[in-house]
Amino acid sequence: MRKVLIFGGSRYFGKRLALRLAEAGDDVTIVTRGQLQVPEAEGIRSIKGDRQSVATMKDLSRDHYDVVYDNICFNPYQAKIASDAFMDQVGKYVLTSTMSVYAPGADLKESDFNPLHHDYHLESEHDYGQGKREAESYFFHRASFPVATVRLPIVLGPDDYTDRLKFYIDAVRREEPVVLHHPEAKMGFISSFEAAAFLEWVGRANVSGPFNAASEGIISLGALMERIGHHLNKPVQIIKDGESSPYDTDVDYYMSIAEAKKAGFVFTQLDDWLDRVILQTIRK
């Protein structure tokens, strides 16, 4: 039985990950501040603590873990806390990262951002993408244990707490215009189910380093709006002037998943689940 520790296992794909691991027979511990309910299942327990606390991390590091999943590390200082605390107490550390480590573009490959060629600044303020870039950089430069980073695009699912897809659904339902400066721009996505499945696979497989993860296939933002309109039986109004909407991008923005496929993971097709998630979100 593997011992697994999860930071960020109380909601969304982190919650799905915890349930998958427990169902597979792993001994899963979720670190929580107590603000969200931890999933209840045999094999899952929780410890109250703060991911940003040095004391919490030192307490946790008294045990050895086969895998640590970190879904809530957002800057190099948080990476340092983990690296200092766990030292040789973990078999593999899996950091959930983001497509935002890349400058927008098409068919982005892992080599387009090499964290070993990137500096980190422990005392600086970081936006989301820069924070993740420097967190990756710190782990790959300084960690004494194997590290894998999983770069995710926008994650979609019925349990999406960001409500970004719901923003578009609500606008179309009210027959309000949606601002998309470039509706022809194509994007990649992943479902919360597949994000959890990929994280589980990375933790089990004999792999390390950075990996892109996304469903097979891409879709233009305009086509996504048309699907929403179809399911609502409402017209879609797209305008190009105004404040950007949540998914708005000036150019195509999606990643290559060739490396993960070469390593053995089989992704679903975007078209196999996208309409289902749209309908589930409509019914929320």
pLDDT in tens, 141-182: 999 999 999 999 999 999 999 999 999 999 999 999 999 999
Comparing 48 with 254, which gets the higher pLDDT?
A: 254
- pLDDT value of residue 173: 98
- pLDDT value of residue 124: 81
Domain extent listing, the chain: 3-153+192-212, 157-188+217-253+269-282
Q: Which tens digits make up the pLDDT trace of 180-237?
A: 999 999 999 999 999 999 999 999 999 999 999 999 999 999 999 999 999 999 999 9
- Report the alpha-carbon distance of residue 52 to residue 43 in Å, rounded: 25
- pLDDT value of residue 155: 98
- pLDDT value of residue 207: 98
- Report the alpha-carbon distance of residue 20 to residue 192 in Å, rounded: 12
Largest CA distance in the chain: 58
Q: If you classify domain 3-153+192-212 with CATH, what class do you get?
A: alpha beta
- Report the alpha-carbon distance of residue 70 to residue 92 in Å, rounded: 11
Q: Which residues pair with 38 in a beta bridge?
A: none
- Say whether pLDDT at 140 is over 80: yes
- Say whether pLDDT at 34 is over 80: no
- pLDDT value of residue 88: 84
Q: What is the dihedral of CA 95, 101, 104, 110, to 10 degrees?
A: -70
Comparing 38 with 10, which gets the higher pLDDT?
A: 10
The count of other CB atoms within 10 Å of the CB of residue 87 is 11
Identify the CATH assignment for 157-188+217-253+269-282 out of 1.20.120, 1.20.1250, 3.90.25, 3.30.310.
3.90.25
